[in-house]
């Protein structure tokens, strides 16, 4: 599958990884966050060399200490800000480039390579209620400024990063707050833990929860009431992640307990287009290849990271999974503990595991 | 990494294990280097730097010991007798790798030689030469000696350089090669001794000492300047063995170790056991040389304190290399030691919360004491693995998922349920009912699911709106069979289904759900009225009969129980009752209600009469007529209908003593087709029930006259007074019935006129006709024929208690 796979022992359980952006495939920059480390939790910014040079060992560019577990990490693709969801329930935005104004160009039209981690203003959390919101459990980013975040309590918030640059020009005044342009209600409540979220388009988003429901939200009407709810027939299986197709936004892939991978066509009613059971472990993350849309990557709690080729179902250009898809393992077979997260570029893949390893793979296109 | 890989000594396995061992050593080396770098970087934190440096040194020492074990026990050639010289060479190399002084000295010496042109004058020149010889690096020694300023001129130096061509052993899997090397070595050493004894080097004491070392002279090795050069006793031991007995078996290591140790410590009186640099002070190495691996691991565990990783991994490696047959241990003894270390290591990891997964995965390989060990065979105690998994705190949903998955992956379903229960309870305490429900379902815990359903209902209060609000939680949407874990949860789900169907316009299905909910009694009684009130809009739909009569009967039963229990406001009950009775009338008309021998339906019809008694007199009359029809047909077809009906409908009969009396009466008189009689009597009973009358009753005398007397419990069968003009009430019933029908026809024009006509015709079949005979003898016409029969009279007497059963049979015959 991958032409080269390198592993780096990082001495912390990698909870989340995020790739700075696709253009840096030649020299990718990855943010990796730890969890369950108590006060030693951290976010590291790691830079890989071109084609995973010599040992494939990344260089440490920056470190930021966190108060809680790093539950979600997302780079926004435009401004290179890093959005972090913490186990304390706090949502934090961080600048990764050196400009005074986050995301500005350096004059040559080329964006700077992320090389630092600086928190922008204060973290944000939903107003406290009787039972607290729990950890941030889902996070999606849209057009650089908007973030859709879900909490364990089921709370759902559409945030925007508001930068208030004072006269002095210091960008640290940036704050996160519920988005004003995100429909009437920017705060909603799901019935249980929101485990995954993604934007479908400018006006729609989808979330999955631990009850096994895929919910669609119309952001124009706000998060007060979901637009549609889709479920898998039978007893509920908790879903853990959701990702939409890069080119066909009506296609959404979700991963659930019991290694259950579902492909949904949102144009159809109620039930998924395809359901495949990969292995016994829960699906921890699912991602479409950013360029080859028929290539799906799935990581599981059994320590596997598979690449799956989708087949064309023939109807309306929609893709589907065959009953017994060919699973191509990306990581070595010795990996047994869960792959918690992975990020995907055009030709680069980075995966963080429970046994404190950070895998990097080049040449991931089949 | 080794896991449950095959244990054995095949060449492939041993090669693979050796590779693993080398990789592990490389990791230790990397870690030690990184720690040292970190220590160097932490200049502003001296304590942290010191700690890191200590850890680095510890890792380095561990790596040295590991390397030694690898040479002695892991390398595949261990079992070959021809391997001993090779192992000795490797041991000498091992000692050299971890004792780098000569290289440093040579570098210093060569630098200074540029300035002086006489390196032999450097204080470390001869020391370096001796050390090189002791380490078996005779080629390096010869090169160094060639740097001597007189090397080309003095014959002694030339001879010494010639003698430094010591034979080298190269390993071949053949004992022949050992003998050849032995011969070569003996010849070479004999040559050395000859030249030494000839006094060739007497004029040059430093050179003479060097040659004495080459000759394997024991006294030379005991010289203080030689012993002082060695960092450790085992370096001295290995050098002696290399130069005196290079082909000896490995047993020599253990045999000669004490002597070398004593020699080494002779010049270092302050250094005793345990006073050295910890791991490498000699105790552990001596145990290894003695072949006591088990003892070595135990000592190492003691020296390393909480660093169980070293002994655990090393024991595991040795277990895979050698099986149970390891020095000092035999049979399964070593397996037990290995497992002990793995257990200790996994327990030591519990100190750091982040390592619970690793700890559990180590226990996977402790088959005796980790996965299946029961501390007490009689008590259902948890295995260490179960105990560990249950103790990991599930702070977040994600971590809980991982713990739950880890339990499931190992087949520990009880532990998985315990974890799920814990998470569910925590979520319940926080008020996150959706999460609590998710985990309670995973725990398959009916009581917890019921508790969560109670929480849902508690938030709902007792009113209909609250209940609807509770059921609107979409967490209830996809429970499927999981809802069956608890009656209350099933009720909530069904209640939600009812509302969903009403919202979707599927009214008949919604009615079905409501009737099922009430008839199955899964719904708590305090919510019955709420549900009935929710049904009111459906009941009052005049253009559409949403409920069937059977469903309405179910609703009536519930309402009757509510009224009996007196747990709801009477006015609200009355509203529901009125709607119910109206809906029942319309449903019966729609269904062309006809009774055969469906006894339970008959009783339900009677119940409906009771309802209508207090609701609407016209409905009551209409229903009474239906009872009459049903009773008549049932009596004609089945003799057991009353008994059956009592069984089927006992649940609603029980509270009503009057109905019990009816049943008793019927059971005696079943053969008499007493339809009309019943109608009259039912009406009275209903009235008495409604008005709580305990008034005058009549008793039929033997002479056929009626006697009024007070109601007494002793009278077995008490009949109410038969009206003198029963036709009046019957006619009134008929008229009422027609009026109802007509009114309904006005209400709903869509009903087919044909079907209505049929119903009216059917009704007329039971109506006394006003024929000419009837006009002449009105009383005769008004009394049905069967009522005038002898059988009926006998039955009436029997019922009134004036005729025994035997007499009745006799008279009937």
**Residue spans per domain, chain A:** 4-100+115-362
DSSP character at residue B223: S
Mutation target for B interface from A139, A192, A357: give the one with most B CBs within 10 A.
Answer: A192
A192/B398 touch (CB, cutoff 8 Å), yes or no: no
Give the per-residue pLDDT at B699: 40
A37/B354 touch (CB, cutoff 8 Å), yes or no: yes
Residue B585 structure tokens:
């009338």
Q: In terms of domains, do B200 and B243 share one?
A: yes
Report if residue B10 sits inside a domain. yes
In the predicted model, what is the mean pLDDT of residues B101-112? 75
Lowest mean pLDDT across A287-296, B611-620, B741-750? B741-750
Give the per-residue pLDDT at B64: 87
Q: How far is B528 from chain A (nearest CA, A)?
A: 26
Residue of B nearest to A232 (CA): B478
Of A87, A131, A282, the CB nearest to B405: A282
Domain boundary among B290, B318, B341: B290
A236 contacts on B by Cβ (under 8 Å): 438, 441, 478-480, 482
Strand order in the sheet with A204-209: A194-199, A204-209, A213-218, A228-231
| Separation CA A210–CA A152 (nearest Å) | 9
Tens-place pLDDT, residues A213-231: 899 998 888 888 888 888 8
Residue of A nearest to B405 (CA): A281
- H or E element at residue B457: helix B446-460
Report if residue B222 sits inside a domain. yes
Of B430, B438, B478, the CB nearest to A131: B430
B478/A153 touch (CB, cutoff 8 Å), yes or no: no
Give the per-residue pLDDT at B279: 59
In the predicted model, what is the mean pLDDT of residues A299-328? 80
Q: In terms of domains, do B16 and B109 share one?
A: no
Domain boundary among B76, B102, B121: B76
A130/B357 touch (CB, cutoff 8 Å), yes or no: no
Of A211, A231, A240, the CB nearest to B438: A211
B434/A211 touch (CB, cutoff 8 Å), yes or no: yes
Residue B652 structure tokens:
């609603």
Residue B654 predicted with pLDDT over 50: no
Tens-place pLDDT, residues B510-553: 888 888 888 877 777 777 787 888 888 888 877 777 888 778 88
Report if residue B350 sits inside a domain. yes
Residue B168 structure tokens:
């080298």
In the predicted model, what is the mean pLDDT of residues B777-793? 62
* Number of domains chain B contains: 3
Residue B396 CA: distances (Å) to CA of A342, B423, B534, B693: 20, 9, 40, 66
Report if residue B730 sits inside a domain. no
Where does residue A52 fall: left (phi above 0), alpha (psi -120 to 50 degrees), or beta otherwise?
left
Residue A204 predicted with pLDDT over 60: yes
Q: How far is B28 from chain A (nearest CA, A)?
A: 12
Residue B596 predicted with pLDDT over 50: no
Report if residue B229 sits inside a domain. yes
**Half-sphere exposure of residue B445, counting CA atoms within 13 Å on the CB side?**
25
Q: Are strands A155-162 and A70-75 parallel, antiparallel or unpaired?
A: unpaired
Q: What is the 3-state secondary structure (H, E, C) of B199-215?
A: CCCCCCHHHHHHHHHHC
Tens-place pLDDT, residues A60-92: 889 999 888 999 999 887 878 899 999 988 888
Inter-chain Cβ pairs, chain A and chain B, closer than 8 A: 119
Quick one: what percent of chain B has pLDDT higher than 70?
62
Name the pLDDT band for A43 (thresholds 50, 70, 90).
Answer: very high
In the predicted model, what is the mean pLDDT of residues B611-625? 56
A281/B480 touch (CB, cutoff 8 Å), yes or no: no
Give the per-residue pLDDT at A255: 94
Q: In terms of domains, do B284 and B176 share one?
A: yes
Q: In terms of domains, do B227 and B131 share one?
A: yes
Mean pLDDT of chain A: 82
| Separation CA A263–CA A232 (nearest Å) | 11
| Separation CA B629–CA B390 (nearest Å) | 68
Q: How far is A111 from chain B (nearest CA, A)?
A: 32
Give the per-residue pLDDT at B804: 59
B438/A210 touch (CB, cutoff 8 Å), yes or no: yes
B357/A213 touch (CB, cutoff 8 Å), yes or no: no
Q: In terms of domains, do B234 and B345 share one?
A: no
In the predicted model, what is the mean pLDDT of residues B11-35? 88
Residue A176, helix vs strand vs coil:
strand
Give the per-residue pLDDT at A184: 53
Give the per-residue pLDDT at B534: 82
Which residue, among A127, A271, A257, A254, has the nearest Cα to A189 in the 3D structure? A127
Mutation target for A interface from B478, B479, B480, B489: give the one with most A CBs within 10 A.
Answer: B478
Please tell me which residue, A90 or A130, carries the higher pLDDT value: A90
Please tell me which residue, A31 or B575, carries the higher pLDDT value: A31
Give the per-residue pLDDT at B684: 44
DSSP character at residue B723: P
Residue B631 structure tokens:
């009773």
Q: In terms of domains, do B152 and B204 share one?
A: yes
Give the per-residue pLDDT at B627: 61
| Separation CA B86–CA B247 (nearest Å) | 9
Burial of A202 (0-12, 13-18, 19+ CB in 10 A): exposed
Residue A104 predicted with pLDDT over 80: no
DSSP character at residue B367: I
Burial of B507 (0-12, 13-18, 19+ CB in 10 A): middle
Lowest mean pLDDT across A253-257, B460-464, B681-685? B681-685
Q: In terms of domains, do B49 and B195 share one?
A: no
Q: In terms of domains, do B210 and B282 share one?
A: yes
Give the per-residue pLDDT at A25: 60
A211/B475 touch (CB, cutoff 8 Å), yes or no: yes
| Separation CA B316–CA B310 (nearest Å) | 10
Residue A234 structure tokens:
């039978």
Q: How far is B408 from chain A (nearest CA, A)?
A: 9
Residue A297 predicted with pLDDT over 90: yes
Residue B96 CA: distances (Å) to CA of B33, B53, B103, B210, B218: 19, 23, 10, 18, 21
B478/A211 touch (CB, cutoff 8 Å), yes or no: yes
A354/B357 touch (CB, cutoff 8 Å), yes or no: yes
Residue B487 predicted with pLDDT over 80: no
Residue B617 structure tokens:
């007199």
Residue B145 CA: distances (Å) to CA of A357, B329, B738: 51, 48, 137
Residue B310 structure tokens:
């070293």
Of A35, A213, A338, the CB nearest to B477: A213
Q: Collect all residues from B whose CB is shorter than 8 A from any CB in A.
A: 1, 27, 353-354, 357-358, 361, 395-399, 401-402, 405, 408-409, 430-435, 437-438, 441, 473-475, 477-482
Residue of B nearest to A211 (CA): B438
B478/A87 touch (CB, cutoff 8 Å), yes or no: no
In the predicted model, what is the mean pLDDT of residues B82-91? 80
Give the per-residue pLDDT at A84: 92
Instruction: Write down how long chain B is.
Output: 813
A231/B358 touch (CB, cutoff 8 Å), yes or no: no
Mutation target for B interface from A15, A34, A36, A153: give the one with most B CBs within 10 A.
Answer: A36
B399/A36 touch (CB, cutoff 8 Å), yes or no: yes
Residue of B nearest to A281 (CA): B405
Q: In terms of domains, do B158 and B249 share one?
A: yes
CA–CA–CA angle B689, B692, B695 (5° rounding): 105
In the predicted model, what is the mean pLDDT of residues B326-346? 74
Q: In terms of domains, do B18 and B117 share one?
A: no
Tens-place pLDDT, residues B417-434: 999 999 999 888 888 888
B434/A192 touch (CB, cutoff 8 Å), yes or no: yes
In the predicted model, what is the mean pLDDT of residues B51-80? 83
Please tell me which residue, A261 or B325, carries the higher pLDDT value: A261
In the predicted model, what is the mean pLDDT of residues B726-752? 38
B437 contacts on A by Cβ (under 8 Å): 192, 211
Name the pLDDT band for B253 (thresholds 50, 70, 90).
Answer: confident
| Separation CA A62–CA A116 (nearest Å) | 5
In the predicted model, what is the mean pLDDT of residues B681-692? 43
Which residue, among A88, A57, A215, has the nearest Cα to A151 in the 3D structure? A88
Burial of B180 (0-12, 13-18, 19+ CB in 10 A): middle
A355 contacts on B by Cβ (under 8 Å): 357-358
Q: Is the dihedral of CA B355, B358, B360, B365 positive or negative?
A: negative
- H or E element at residue B582: helix B570-591
Name the pLDDT band for B697 (thresholds 50, 70, 90).
Answer: very low
In the predicted model, what is the mean pLDDT of residues B289-300? 83
Lowest mean pLDDT across B218-232, B539-553, B756-770? B756-770
Quick one: what percent of chain B has pLDDT higher than 90?
3
Give the per-residue pLDDT at B337: 83
Residue B493 CA: distances (Å) to CA of A236, B290, B425, B514: 14, 73, 21, 12
Please tell me which residue, B663 or B155, carries the higher pLDDT value: B155
Residue B731 predicted with pLDDT over 50: no
Sequence-distant (≥ 6) Cβ neighbours of residue B598 within 8 angstroms? B634
Which residue, among A219, A156, A155, has the nearest Cα to A184 in the 3D structure? A219
Q: How far is B432 from chain A (nearest CA, A)?
A: 6
For residue B257, the enclosing domain spans 89-290
Residue ranges of the alpha helices (H) in B135-250?
138-145, 155-163, 175-197, 205-214, 218-222, 224-229, 233-244
Residue B600 predicted with pLDDT over 60: no
Name the pLDDT band for B643 (thresholds 50, 70, 90).
Answer: very low
Lowest mean pLDDT across A33-42, A207-216, A223-232, B768-777? B768-777
CA dihedral B491, B495, B496, B500 (to 10 degrees): 150
Q: In terms of domains, do B211 and B331 share one?
A: no
Domain boundary among B324, B356, B372: B372
Please tell me which residue, B517 or B110, carries the higher pLDDT value: B517
- Homologous superfamily of A4-100+115-362: YVTN repeat-like/Quinoprotein amine dehydrogenase (2.130.10.10)
Lowest mean pLDDT across A242-251, A303-312, B788-797? B788-797
Residue of B nearest to A12 (CA): B354
| Separation CA B415–CA B739 (nearest Å) | 70
Give the per-residue pLDDT at B696: 36
Residue A139 predicted with pLDDT over 90: yes
Give the per-residue pLDDT at B641: 40
Tens-place pLDDT, residues A330-339: 998 888 889 9
B27 contacts on A by Cβ (under 8 Å): 9
B405/A130 touch (CB, cutoff 8 Å), yes or no: no
Quick one: what percent of chain A has pLDDT higher than 70?
82
Give the per-residue pLDDT at B215: 86
Of B27, B357, B480, the CB nearest to A236: B480
Query: Per DSSP, which regions of A112-249 are E strands?
Result: 118-119, 136-142, 146-151, 155-162, 175-178, 187-189, 194-199, 204-209, 213-218, 228-231, 239-244
């Amino acid at each position: 599958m991958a032409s080269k796979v390198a592993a780096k022992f990082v001495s912390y359980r990698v909870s989340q990884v995020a790739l700075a952006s696709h253009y840096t495939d030649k020299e990718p920059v990855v943010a990796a966050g730890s969890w369950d480390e108590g006060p030693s939790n951290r976010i590291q910014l790691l830079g890989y060399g071109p084609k995973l040079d010599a040992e494939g060992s990344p260089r440490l560019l920056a470190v930021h200490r966190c108060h809680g577990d790093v539950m979600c990490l997302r780079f926004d693709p435009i401004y290179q800000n890093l959005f972090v969801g913490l186990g304390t329930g706090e949502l934090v935005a961080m600048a990764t480039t050196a400009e005074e104004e986050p995301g500005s160009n350096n004059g040559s039209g080329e964006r700077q390579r992320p090389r630092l981690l600086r928190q922008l203003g204060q973290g944000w959390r939903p107003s406290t209620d009787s039972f607290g919101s729990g950890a941030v459990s889902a996070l999606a980013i849209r057009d650089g400024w908007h973030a859709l975040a879900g909490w364990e309590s089921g709370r759902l918030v559409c945030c925007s990063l508001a930068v208030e640059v004072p006269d002095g020009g210091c960008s640290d005044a940036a704050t996160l707050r519920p988005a004003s342009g995100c429909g009437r209600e920017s705060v909603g409540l799901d019935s249980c833990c929101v485990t995954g979220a993604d934007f479908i388009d400018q006006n729609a988003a989808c979330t999955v929860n631990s009850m096994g429901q895929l919910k669609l939200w119309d952001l124009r009407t706000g998060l007060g009431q979901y637009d549609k709810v889709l479920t898998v027939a039978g007893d509920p299986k908790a879903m853990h992640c959701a990702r939409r197709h890069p080119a066909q936004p009506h296609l959404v892939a979700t991963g659930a307990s019991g290694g259950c991978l579902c492909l949904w066509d949102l144009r159809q009613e109620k039930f998924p287009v395809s359901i495949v059971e990969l292995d016994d472990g829960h699906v921890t993350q699912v991602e479409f290849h950013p360029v080859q849309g028929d290539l799906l990557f799935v990581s599981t709690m059994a320590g596997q990271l598979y690449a799956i080729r989708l087949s064309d179902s023939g109807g309306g250009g929609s893709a589907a999974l065959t009953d017994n898809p060919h699973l191509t393992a990306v990581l070595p077979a010795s990996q047994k503990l869960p792959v918690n997260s992975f990020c995907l570029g055009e030709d680069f893949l980075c995966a963080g595991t429970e046994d404190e390893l950070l895998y990097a793979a080049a040449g991931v296109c089949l | 990494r080794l896991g449950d890989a095959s244990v054995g000594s095949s060449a492939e396995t041993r090669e693979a294990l050796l590779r693993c061992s080398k990789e592990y050593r490389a990791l230790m080396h990397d870690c030690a280097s990184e720690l040292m770098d970190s220590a160097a970087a932490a200049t502003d934190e001296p304590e942290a730097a010191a700690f890191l440096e200590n850890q680095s040194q510890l890792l380095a020492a561990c790596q040295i010991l590991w390397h030694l074990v690898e040479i002695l026990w892991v390398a595949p050639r261990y079992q070959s007798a021809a391997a001993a010289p090779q192992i000795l060479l490797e041991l000498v190399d091992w000692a050299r790798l971890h004792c780098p002084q000569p290289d440093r000295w040579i570098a210093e010496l060569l630098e200074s030689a540029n300035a002086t042109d006489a390196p032999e004058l450097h204080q470390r020149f001869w020391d370096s030469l001796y050390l090189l010889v002791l380490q078996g690096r005779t080629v390096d020694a010869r090169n160094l000696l060639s740097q001597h300023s007189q090397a080309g001129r003095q014959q002694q130096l030339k001879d010494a350089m010639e003698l430094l061509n010591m034979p080298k052993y190269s390993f071949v899997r053949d004992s022949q090669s050992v003998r050849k090397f032995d011969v070569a070595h003996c010849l070479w050493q004999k040559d050395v001794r000859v030249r030494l004894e000839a006094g060739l080097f007497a004029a040059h004491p430093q050179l003479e000492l060097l040659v004495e070392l080459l000759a394997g002279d024991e006294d030379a090795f005991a010289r203080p300047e030689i012993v002082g050069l060695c960092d450790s006793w085992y370096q001295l031991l290995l050098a002696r063995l290399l130069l005196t007995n290079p082909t000896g078996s490995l047993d020599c290591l253990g045999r000669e170790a004490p002597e070398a140790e004593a020699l080494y410590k002779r010049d270092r009186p302050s250094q005793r056991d345990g006073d050295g640099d910890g791991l490498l002070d000699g105790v552990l190495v001596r145990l290894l040389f003695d072949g006591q691996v088990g003892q070595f691991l135990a000592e190492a565990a003691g020296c390393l304190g909480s660093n169980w990783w070293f002994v655990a991994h090393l024991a595991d490696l040795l277990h895979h290399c050698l099986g149970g047959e390891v020095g000092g241990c035999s049979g399964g003894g070593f397996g037990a030691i290995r497992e002990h270390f793995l257990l200790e290591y996994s327990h030591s990891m519990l100190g750091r919360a982040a390592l619970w997964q690793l700890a559990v995965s180590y226990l996977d390989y402790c088959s005796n004491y980790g996965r299946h060990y029961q501390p007490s065979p009689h008590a259902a105690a948890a295995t260490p693995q179960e105990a560990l998994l249950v103790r990991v705190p599930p702070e977040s949903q994600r971590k809980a998922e991982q713990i739950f998955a880890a339990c499931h992956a190992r087949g520990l379903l009880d532990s998985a349920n315990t974890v799920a229960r814990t998470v569910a309870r925590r979520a319940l305490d926080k008020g996150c009912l959706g999460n609590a429900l998710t985990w309670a379902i995973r725990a398959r815990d009916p009581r917890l699911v019921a508790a969560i359903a109670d929480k849902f209902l508690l938030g709902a209060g007792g009113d209909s709106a609250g209940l609807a609000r509770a059921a609107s939680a979409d967490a209830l949407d996809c429970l499927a069979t999981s809802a069956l874990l608890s009656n209350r949860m099933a009720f909530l789900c069904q209640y939600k289904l009812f509302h969903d169907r009403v919202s979707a316009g599927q009214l008949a299905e919604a009615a079905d759900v409501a009737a099922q909910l009430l008839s199955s009694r899964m719904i708590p009684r305090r919510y019955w009225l709420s549900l009935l009130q929710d049904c009111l809009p459906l009941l009052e739909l005049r253009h559409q009969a949403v409920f069937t009569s059977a469903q309405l009967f179910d609703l009536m039963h519930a309402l009757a129980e509510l009224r009996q229990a007196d747990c709801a406001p009477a006015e609200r009950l009355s509203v529901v009752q009125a709607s119910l009775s109206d809906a029942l009338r319309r449903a019966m008309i729609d269904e062309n209600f006809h009774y055969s021998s469906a006894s339970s339906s008959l009783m339900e019809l009677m119940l409906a009469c009771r309802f209508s008694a207090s609701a609407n007199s016209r409905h009551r009359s209409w229903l009474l007529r239906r009872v009459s029809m049903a009773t008549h047909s049932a009596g004609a077809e089945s003799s057991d209908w009353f008994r059956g009906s009592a069984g089927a409908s006992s649940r609603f009969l029980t509270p009503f003593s009057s109905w019990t009396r009816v049943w008793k009466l019927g059971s005696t008189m079943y053969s008499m087709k007493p339809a009309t009689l019943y109608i009259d009597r039912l009406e009275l009973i209903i009235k008495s029930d409604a008005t709580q009358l305990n008034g005058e009753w009549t008793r039929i005398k033997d002479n056929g006259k009626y006697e009024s007397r007070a109601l007494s419990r002793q009278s077995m069968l008490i009949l109410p007074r038969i009206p003198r003009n029963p036709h009046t009430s019957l006619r009134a019933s008929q008229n009422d019935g027609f009026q109802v029908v007509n009114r309904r026809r006005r209400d709903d024009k869509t009903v087919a006129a044909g079907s209505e006509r049929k119903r009216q015709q059917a009704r007329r079949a039971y109506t006394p006709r006003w024929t000419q005979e009837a006009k002449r003898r009105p009383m005769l016409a008004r009394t049905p024929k069967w009522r005038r029969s002898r059988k009926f009279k006998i039955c009436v007497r029997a019922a009134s208690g004036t005729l025994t059963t035997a007499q009745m049979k006799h008279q009937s015959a």
